[in-house]
Structure 1
Amino acid sequence: MDLTGAIWRKSSRSSGNGGNCVEVADNLTDVVGVRDSKDPHGPALTFTPTAWRAFVTRFTRHD
């Protein structure tokens, strides 16, 4: 999957202490990319926008 035009942002659910840092790129038309911010040149997971919305909806905490 080509993520060349991806604009990565840190997930709002990532901790701010250098621990679990997930970045999401949701600016592309047909794919959402997810990667480890500590390894930006490493592998990225990809999801369809529909699958990503379902995942986020299912696993978002309602504090």
Structure 2
Amino acid sequence: MAFSPDGRILAISTGSSVELWNVDLPDPARAIGTIGEAIDAALTPQEQSRYLHDHSARTGCPSAGR
């Protein structure tokens, strides 16, 4: 396993082949909002602060059970 010099591609050797993964991620607030929408659940303020320590706790995640 190795990252490209710019950190945007991850190469993984799986026996006789190599897989390339794009790991160029969006900003954390947008990523957490997208995850919240995908699972239809909101992160708790503690979870949000864990992943967004220098951002507002407001990410746009939907309310759980919506």
TM-score, normalised to structure 2, is 0.22
TM-score, normalised to structure 1, is 0.22
Higher helix proportion, which one?
2
Q: Which protein shows a greater Rg?
A: 2
